[in-house]
Amino acid sequence: MTSDLPTPTRENPAPPPVPERDAASGRLTGRSIPSGRGAASVLLLVGIVAAFAVIAVLAFALREPGAALQPGEPAPDFTLNSFEGEQYELSALRGRVIVLNFWASWCIECSVEAADLVAVWREFQDRGVLVLGVDYTDTEAAALDYLERLQISYPNGPDLGARISSRYGLTGVPETVLIDREGRIVPLRVAGEQRPLAKIVGPIVPGGGYTPDDLRNTLEALLADGDVGSGATEHGLPIALAPSSNRIPTRPPRR
């Protein structure tokens, strides 16, 4: 049996191990790294790990920064394929007011607000308002059961790869964003906040931080105004109460 490496002898001894130095201090650590082919293997492995780390950093940096979501600014474009097989592209929905609601079947607060969102949808669907549900971090079976059980009739679809929620800076569910007919984020005045907010944080329920009546009044103002944009806070939009502090985490509970 042959080997690519020469057999160590007195005349041809094996190369000694190379002492390893601490990267920060430059001192010898007392450990050794293999020399020859072993050292090359270690260097190759280190290079591969470093390459993957660079790729991961670049991928993170290239994501749409959700934190940049600002009231009055153009809403990030997205395409949502509904559970019914229909496609909704925000850029193709100009002229309609969009109520973009992020939810999940495992979210208790989401189920609490569902009936009120359905009621708002029934009232405004023939007036140019589209309520659109984005299902976050879920399974299709659980999502469909949730929709059927709560009799949710407005369109819903899965957020595959969390692409939409990432672009909209989701911090928890439920969250709701209003988009005007020009495709801009509707500024929402919230009591206790000095500046308008870009989204409703928490459930839309009677007695809650932002109520169904608040939503109705906002939609009425948007439909009557026709061009809200960054000046929405000057056009009679309602000032909501402080949002609910009882948030559902963005990750589903462990089963």
Q: Are strands 189-190 and 239-240 parallel, antiparallel or unpaired?
A: parallel
Q: Which residues of the chain have pLDDT under 70?
A: 1-68, 190-193, 226-255
- Tens digits of per-residue pLDDT, 190-202? 656 677 889 988 8
Domain boundaries, the chain: 18-62, 66-240
Predicted confidence at residue 55, as pLDDT, reads 39
Predicted confidence at residue 165, as pLDDT, reads 96
Write the burial class of residue 255 (CB in 10 Å: 0-12 exposed, 13-18 middle, 19+ buried).
exposed
- Fold classified for 66-240: Glutaredoxin (3.40.30)
Task: Measure the CA–CA gap between 147 and 84, rounded to whole angstroms.
Answer: 12
Q: What are phi and psi of 189, to 5 degrees?
A: -80, 125
